[in-house]
Amino acid sequence: MAKIILTGDRPTGKLHLGHFVGSLSRRVELQNSGLYDKIFIMIADAQALTDNADNPDKVRENIIEVALDYLSCGIDPTKSTIFVQSYVTELTELAFYYMNLVTVQRLQRNPTVKAEIQMRGFADNNGEEENQQRKGTPVGFFTYPISQASDITAFRATTVPVGEDQEPMIEQTREIVHKFNSVYGETLVEPEIMLPTNAACLRLPGTDGKAKMSKSLGNCIYLSDSAEDVKKKVMSMYTDPDHLKVSDPGKVEGNTVFTYLDAFSRPEHFEKYLPEYENLDALKEHYRRGGLGDVKVKRFLIAVLEELLAPIRERRAYYEQRIDEVYDILRKGSDRARATAQATLYDVRRAMRINYFEDKELIARQAEQYRG
């Protein structure tokens, strides 16, 4: 069996460091590993419309932003297929068939769906996202796990790299695959989840220490931020509120600066920028006993982040001057993705025995029946 990856992002804004550590850096690593036969990376515009139906321009304008972020981070369109979800119309048909295999009650029990509904304010109209389009939950948003199952199965994905909050969604996909194969015969591929290996990357907090980066909260460091913007955001980061003087002992746990260092710093950074410390453990130990100021630690983090973001910023500037080429990449990728989804849909329709016009045996049998 071919080893295939499907992953992607909703185009509701520029991508930030949370996206990078949670998935983008791993995608580039997997893309260049040579271990996978195909990699599909989806710009999930149709999913984004489930809670932005009254603001399609938000999705429309951000497709290019996400594509630019992909290319600037090292996604190579000759190795990975980048495509726009809504252009692969077969995904909608697959989702329609899968809806008959899932109950409303099962969707209601999905913890990720419940959390996302609450966060967006659909349940009580008091969510943290800036787009409050209506009271109540849109049906399209409620059935998002089914849509995701169609995305994954259409490309016969064997591996889906996601954050830990998406585990219930992948489990829902596996249930749909199992149900379909049980009813109609072995047709769909059951995917495996791939979680981040670095614990600090499971969910990077915002610069204010809140659990999640959010555009509406203004606590994101974007991949496209200037060096000056990154510096300002790091210098304003939440640390230990009790670490008032350099001499005070400090807490590393829950300290956003150290959480970011857990995610981004490497041993070679210390040799280059802080040679007086052997590694991150030594830096943490000094901070805990006192005598190490927040400013010094933040300046180190700025250097670490700038080493990461400077080449990304440079590649983005290159593609920003070639927008026509970027759209051509998306168009060609969408064509390749659609061809793959068409093949899967053909197999699904045949398994469900709704391929009436291709079923010559059916036509011949019924013709004979009515002649007789």
- Residue 117, pLDDT > 90, answer no
- Residue 47, pLDDT > 90, answer yes
Q: What is the pLDDT of residues 239-249, one digit of tens each?
A: 988 888 899 99
Instruction: Find the largest Cα–Cα distance for the chain.
Output: 98
Q: Specify the 3-state DSSP secondary structure of 192.
A: strand
What does 9-45 look like in DSSP terms, one character per residue?
A: E--SS--BHHHIIIIIHHHHHHHHHS--SEEEEEE-H
Instruction: Give the least confident one: 34-43, 238-247, 252-261, 315-324.
Output: 238-247
Long-range contact pairs involving 322-328 (C-beta distance under 8 Å, separation at least 24): 323/64, 326/64, 326/67, 326/68, 326/71, 327/64
Section 317-339 average pLDDT:
98
Alpha carbons 15 and 58: distance in angstroms, whole number? 14
- Residue 126, pLDDT > 70, answer no
Q: What is the pLDDT of residues 192-236, one digit of tens each?
A: 998 877 665 567 889 988 877 877 788 999 999 999 999 999 999
Q: What is the residue-averaged pLDDT of the chain?
A: 91
* Structural contact between residues 294 and 239, judged by C-beta atoms closer than 8 angstroms: yes
CB proximity list for 118: less than 8 A, separation 6 or greater: 124, 127
Section 126-130 average pLDDT:
47
Residue 66: its pLDDT value, please?
A: 97
- Residue 305, pLDDT > 60, answer yes
- % of the chain at pLDDT higher than 90: 76
Q: What is the pLDDT of residues 65-93, one digit of tens each?
A: 999 999 999 999 999 999 999 999 999 99
Q: What is the pTM of this model?
A: 0.89
CB proximity list for 203: less than 8 A, separation 6 or greater: 18, 22, 163, 164, 165, 211, 212
Joined together, the tokens standing for residue 357 give: 């016009």
CB-neighbour burial class of residue 157 (10 A; exposed 0-12, middle 13-18, buried 19+):
buried
What sign results for the dihedral spanned by CA atoms 14, 20, 26, 31? positive
Alpha carbons 109 and 107: distance in angstroms, whole number? 5
Section 50-55 average pLDDT:
91
Domains and CATH numbers, the chain: 4-203+322-364 (3.40.50.620), 225-319 (1.10.240.10)
Residue 127: its pLDDT value, please?
A: 47
Spatial strand order of the sheet with 81-84 comes to 81-84, 38-43, 4-9, 159-161, 192-194
Residue 200: its pLDDT value, please?
A: 56
Q: What is the pLDDT of residues 165-197, one digit of tens each?
A: 788 899 999 999 999 999 999 999 999 998 877
